[in-house]
Amino acid sequence: MFPGFLVPETTIREAGSGPDTPVGTEAGLTLLITLGLTRVIEQESLDLAIWGSSDGVEWGAKPLAAFPQKFYCGTYQIMLDLSRTPDVKFLRVKWLVNRWGKGSPKPLFDLYVFAQDAARAMARSA
């Protein structure tokens, strides 16, 4: 299943979530999650988290991992250790957006979220 996009490049204007992604054979592995912000406007913020589910229906009370709040374009990475949650069979990306100040009140982000096996990614970069 991985490497692959949890959220392909898309434009975000409001709170929402990406598609449910089966974990497949990567259950129990550590994933390297990459958030790419390719377009933002001033005076806005993005909160983005990765949620897990064993059945694709119940997503729990807390995310498995979350990025620190983002305001600027860039590429950001976090590790997601699935060995701590061996029952997780699906991943879902959820986000909240906020905009303040002058101009349009609607936030605008272009982003993608990519997941890959952390061990393989580190081996390739060595």
Helix (H, G, I), strand (E, B) or coil at 108: coil
CA distance 57 to 46: 25
CA distance 115 to 80: 9
Query: What pTM does this model have?
Result: 0.93
pLDDT in tens, 29-86: 999 999 999 999 999 999 999 999 999 999 999 999 999 999 999 999 999 999 999 9
Q: Tokens for 84?
A: 């701590």
- Other CB atoms within 10 Å distance of the CB of residue 57: 8
- Report all structural domains of the chain as residue ranges with CATH numbers, in order of start: 4-125 (2.60.120.1110)
**Cα within 13 Å of Cα(40), Cβ side:** 18
The DSSP string of 107-123 is --EEEEEEEEEHHHHHH
